[in-house]
Amino acid sequence: MFSRRLILMASMAKRFYCECKKNTKRSVAVIGAAGGVGQPLTLLLKLNPCIGELKVHDIVNVAGVGTDVSHIETASTVKHSTGKDLTETLKGGVDIIVVPAGSPRKPGQNREDLFNTNAQIAFDIAKAMAQHSPQSIILIITNPVNSLVPIVCEVLKSAGKLCPERVLGVSTLDSVRAATFIAEVACLDPKDVTVPLVGGHSAKTIVPLISKTHPQVCIEGEKLCNLIKRIKEAGDEVVKAKDGKGSATLSTAYAASRLVFAILRALNGESNIVESAFVKSDELPDVDYLATPLILGKNGVEKNLGIGKMSEYEQKLFCEAMTQLKKDIELGEKFATDQL
């Protein structure tokens, strides 16, 4: 169950930057740095004083991005590398690898439709990570997160390099959106709102636990149904608004940077840092991966806070989500097994 203290810890985790001593500066690699998410993410990471070395990679057009951000007057060095080979970026190991590489969706597509394009990309990157930087904390942004995180884990497992607590699917954007939309409905400041998110990262699998929102909100009936629908389908809202020019990039980059910064603070010894993410999980007997609130620590996930107690309505949504999530996970695992 989520205690009041944990909810407060989660809201404290929203604090952006950490204090950093020189000897605790970390290295972060962005794979897919020239893309719609990669570019603003690289910018946000360059602003964080806890990052000593920023390595940016993409298959094309990354020299401009790397050179551009390298002119910003923060102390981190920026190295860029291009092509299919990730050796240059990952050799010697980096602390955190963030992966936004791959294709975004177009109007009419859902995240699952990206599987055929992005599964192979995630597979190849996972092979390189297993070979060159198996100790990294790995954050997967590329969709469909529900299937690509299992692919990455299977590849690392087959190389004997899997540390499940170090592989996270980025679902932070769901928490970000939930806080924004709840604050709008309840007339609160979004920065004060924390809501646990469970399930996965797709319209059918995102389950916001509004009953556990801090501060408590009283939203019922049609208002509640509309709010939950909006949180679940917020990615579609952006795809529609962009009208053929892709999906959410700026808010995705912000959300991913929030998770990276939370991990940096945990790596640097801060305790009780809570964020939700999609990870390998023992929470349910028949679903191997699940998004839940997590306490972050020096090794990635220090403690899984689980799904907690849900309202009747949330339980119904959660059961529906699990039917889809199982299929998404199986799809990823099958792809990896067939390729290995």
Which of the residues 58, 95, 174, 288 is marked catalytic? 174
- Residue 333, judged by CB atoms within 10 A of its CB (0-12, 13-18, 19+), counts as middle
Radius of gyration of the chain (CA): 19
The pair of structure tokens assigned to 197 is 């998110």
Question: How far apart (Å, rounded) are the C-alpha atoms in residues 248 and 261?
Answer: 20
Name the segment binding ligand LMR (CB under 6 A); options: 28-36, 52-60, 244-252, 332-340: 244-252
Contacts of 105 (CB under 8 A, 6+ apart): 111, 113, 114, 143, 239, 246, 247
Name the segment binding ligand LMR (CB under 6 A); options: 16-24, 103-111, 183-191, 324-332: 103-111
248 touching ligand LMR, by CB under 6 A? yes
Min. distance of Cβ 112 from ligand LMR in angstroms?
10
Min. distance of Cβ 165 from ligand LMR in angstroms?
23
232 touching ligand LMR, by CB under 6 A? no
174 is catalytic: yes
Which of the residues 57, 132, 201, 214 is marked catalytic? 201
Min. distance of Cβ 247 from ligand LMR in angstroms?
4
Measured over the CA atoms of residue 309, residue 311, residue 314 and residue 318, the dihedral's sign is positive
When the beta carbons of 30 and 248 are compared against ligand LMR, the nearer one is: 248
Q: What's 298's DSSP letter?
A: T
252 touching ligand LMR, by CB under 6 A? yes
214 is catalytic: no
Min. distance of Cβ 55 from ligand LMR in angstroms?
24
CB contact burial 186-198 (16+ within 10 A = b; e otherwise): beeeeeebbbbbb
Residue nearest to ligand LMR (CB): 235
208 touching ligand LMR, by CB under 6 A? no
173 touching ligand LMR, by CB under 6 A? yes
143 touching ligand LMR, by CB under 6 A? yes
When the beta carbons of 113 and 270 are compared against ligand LMR, the nearer one is: 113
Min. distance of Cβ 172 from ligand LMR in angstroms?
10
Question: How far apart (Å, rounded) are the C-alpha atoms in residues 104 and 247?
Answer: 6
DSSP string, 202-266: STTTEEE-GGG-BS-----HHHHHHHHHHHHTHHHHHHHHHTTS-S--HHHHHHHHHHHHHHHHH
Binding site residues, ligand LMR, CB under 6 A: 104-105, 111, 143, 173, 235, 238, 247-248, 252
